[in-house]
Structure 1
Amino acid sequence: MSSHEVPQALMVDAFRTRNSVAFGGLSRTGVVIGAAILTAEGLIATQQPLSLFVTLPLTAAGLGLAAAKRHGMSAMSYYWAKLAWKRASRVGATSYRRLFLPHPYALDLPGVGASSTLIRASDPTTGRPVGVVQDRATGWMTVTTLLAPGGSLMAPTGTVRSGLRSWSSVLDAMSTNEQIKGASVTIQITPGAGEALGDDVKARQDPDAPQLAKRLVSELVRTTPHATASVAPWMSVTVDPSASADPPVDLAEQVAEALRVADGLDLSGTGTDIQRRATDIDLRRIVRSAYDPDVFTARDADFQDLSWGECGPQAADDEWTEYAHDGGVSVSWVLREMPRRPVPYSVLLPLLAPGRYQRRITLAYRVLDPLEGEAVLEREINRAHDRARTTAETKGRAKYSQQADALRAEKAAAQAAGGAQVVDWTLMVTATTRSVADLPAARQELSRAVGATRGIRMRPAYGAQAATFAAQLPIGYNPLVKD
């Protein structure tokens, strides 16, 4: 077996994009709105027939935009988003300057992180310090766990299958716990992080070690920065403490409840090692170094006195396809479509390989409870069969792609009936450069990495660069979770 072959037992499938198309490429909402507009035009035409020469072309153009596709979304949604972004840009809403904000707001993170606040607490089980991010608008809390990456490419097939089953158990625990609103797993890869390696080696070095060993280690540290990358994975879980049978009253009880729920997710056996709960200093470091990569290797003392608002950017510009912030410029891409065929468990490996620029890869999850998941799959089956039947009635037979789509929907429902979980999830990738001049190279590198996955389709996060950037940080924002 070649090193690139993956046993059939380690293939993953049943990925599906929710499809609400009802007729002619329009969603059910689009059909209802279109029918209402046509009805209104008919009533107006009874009084002013000549008005149809103006209204009908406009309506046809609107319905055409709603039915057409642009970058995997409806053309109307795409152009409406671009119009909204241009309007926001004209009034300066896409630019952020912390220096010019009034004092109360200067203590907050910008954009989607504005309602978050950082709480320093102690783990009631271990007594160690832990950082918890609270959403002041909803009361939800996000607990982050620092992980240590574990390799599986050289592991036996049985070990990898066991890891996949263990992760399935984690998703099952999320689906049956109404307090867990969502979760995300992020891997940050920073190339050439040799300074941090030098500090770590210096702290561990035995002063009584032989001089030859010291010189050898020093030479390795000196030559390593250009050939290594720092890999920092973490998992964030968003919890609603008030959803328990006995809701906690004060803040301390809410934090304890959030930590208790997060502790209920057993990650052992999933192929990764748990380092510890992230402290408030860890969270400050992650957030601040994302906006200003130059401080990535700074010492803990440099983050200890930072307020939560100071961890964000001092200045930022949210462009249509890029995001400029303090010491860097980032481009963020989001998932457009997964392959319609089984993919190997290692499909994301090209995205996880170190490159020239810092990269963050995030999988965001919202696990549906069994009843909601069953209802979603039943709707998908009905819509798939309706589309095939409508095409068959008008063209004589359904398209092969429509028949295959109906079969995939039925297969997903069969897997859910057998105990699999239905999960809303998305993939986000961000590459950060130090200057605008490096953006073309960063985009090319990202495009090649996505292409190497052989089937995963992604696109730039048009008009949502800042929000996508923030969704990859442990600040409590998950685009799939709605209150």
Structure 2
Amino acid sequence: MSALSYYWAKLSWRRASRYEGTAYRRLLLPHPYRLDLPGVGASSTLIKAHDPTTGQSVGVVHDRATGRMTVTTLLSPGGSLMAPTGAVQSSLRTWSAVLDAMSTDEQILGASVTIQITPGAGEALGDDVQARKDPGAPDLAKRVIDELVRTTPHATASVAPWMSVTVDPSASANPPVDLAEQVAETLKVVDGLDLSGTGTDIERRASDIDLRRIVRAAYDPAVFTARNAQFEELQWGECGPVAADDGWEEYAHDGGVSISWVLQEMPRRPIPYSVLLPLLAPGRFQRRITIAYRVLDPYEGEAVLEREISHARQREQATAEMKGRAKWSQRADSQRAERAAAQAASGDQVVDWTLMVTVTARSAGELPAARQELERATKAMRSIRLRPAYGAQAAVFAAGLPLGYNPLVKG
């Protein structure tokens, strides 16, 4: 991030703050602005659809401004740390094929994969154990399991992964004419993505209740373990905060204060598949790690790589004219750009991606500890560098939620 971009963003944020553009207070306004979500989620609405293939309900987030729709899939990832190297490489190749399929489908605009780690299993664990408890079990076994249920929420973490795919249903050869057909077209496109063999299992498509729970629990972590009955009658706008203040380096909202960091630069060297393990390790605070993808079509990918080669050579030449020789890092950048262009010419796809991390503390007093925990996890990764999302805390916070917002998808 250049100094000019930093200070320009700082000036824009101060101007917005002066006119209270960084503060949100939920008000009962006339339709259609009543109970809208704040910020980038203001134009979204939730549609409850019926999936005839599974017979279950599916939540579809509709962007009223662009007509795009987002479907979220709940995942159950398998661990790869103890898996054979060949199995991990096979999963990576399969995931590469999934991204390749996205590039050839004009209706798929982007996708994101999020893993949310929340300390404590809460009431959900107790409900599950209570339903599976054998009434005829010995008294000692019942006392032991009850003690485990009572103490376990303080020593475990709940992991909730999901994948959100943003689709433009009107980009088909025969554009759907009404909302129902648009939803059907969106579900058909998402069902065409085959995630089998990628190292993860599909639990099911997220229902409208699932989406309400995820969004509401992000703004108020205290309700994360609440039962489904509390979310059934909740309106989409009510899933957002009652009040929120978007700061330069933090985002205050219902029940907590969040800090979000973003990818500073792409890795300059090959990285192991376990590089994100420090971020995925449970900590004291709720954490969301999101990787957003946008697969470029072959023509756009070729143009991007040619532009990267030109910029790298210009930087190398300018430094050589001023100092007598180019930096080794600049030469390495040119070589990497040329290798990427050669791979694209052989049929590989170019993917634009970014990494976003959000940590939520329950109060402002816990914010320094949450920031320290995130800094330690970031430094432990070594290969990937992150920085605070200056002046864009609310937007990055929302990018990790299934609100239909992907920062890589062009408006």
Which TM-score tier does this pair reach, normalised by the shorter chain? Answer: over 0.9
Q: CA deviation at 1:481?
A: 0.5
Larger Rg: 1
- For 1:62-461, list aligned pairs within 5 A: 73-99=1-27, 101-102=29-30, 104-461=32-389
Post-superposition Cα deviations, 1:326-385, rounded to whole Å, max 9, x if no partner, equal 111100011102331111011001000000000000001111011211111111112212
Q: CA deviation at 1:195?
A: 2.4
Q: Distance in 1 between matches of 2:254 and 2:325?
A: 57
* Structure 1 unaligned residues grouped into runs of 5+: 1-72
Indicate the SS of the match to 1:143: strand
- Give aligned pairs, total: 411
- What amino acid sits opposite 2:291 in the alignment? L
Indicate the SS of the match to 2:304: helix
Q: CA deviation at 1:418?
A: 3.2
Q: CA deviation at 1:202?
A: 1.2
Q: Tell whether the 8 Å contact from 1:338 to 1:455 is kept in structure 2 after alignment.
A: no
Q: TM-score scaled to structure 2, two decimals?
A: 0.97
Q: Distance in 2 between matches of 1:439 and 1:208?
A: 47
- What amino acid sits opposite 2:362 in the alignment? R
Q: CA deviation at 1:101?
A: 4.7
1:476 is matched with which residue?
404
Q: Distance in 1 between matches of 2:258 and 2:109?
A: 28
Q: CA deviation at 1:398?
A: 2.1
Q: Distance in 1 between matches of 2:27 and 2:172?
A: 41
Q: Tell whether the 8 Å contact from 2:219 to 2:256 is kept in structure 1 after alignment.
A: yes
Counterpart of 1:462 (choices 381, 390, 401) is 390
Indicate the SS of the match to 1:225: helix
- What amino acid sits opposite 1:145 in the alignment? T
Q: CA deviation at 1:218?
A: 1.5
Indicate the SS of the match to 1:347: coil
Q: Tell whether the 8 Å contact from 1:194 to 1:228 is kept in structure 2 after alignment.
A: no
- What amino acid sits opposite 1:271 in the alignment? G
Q: CA deviation at 1:400?
A: 1.7
* Structure 2 unaligned residues grouped into runs of 5+: none
Q: CA deviation at 1:449?
A: 0.2
Indicate the SS of the match to 2:401: coil
Q: TM-score scaled to structure 1, two decimals?
A: 0.83
User: Please, what is the CA RMSD of the aligned residues?
Assistant: 1.3
Indicate the SS of the match to 2:215: helix
- For 1:31-42, list aligned pairs within 5 A: none
Moved more, 385-394 or 293-302: 385-394
Q: Distance in 2 between matches of 1:452 and 1:419?
A: 35
- What amino acid sits opposite 2:12 in the alignment? A
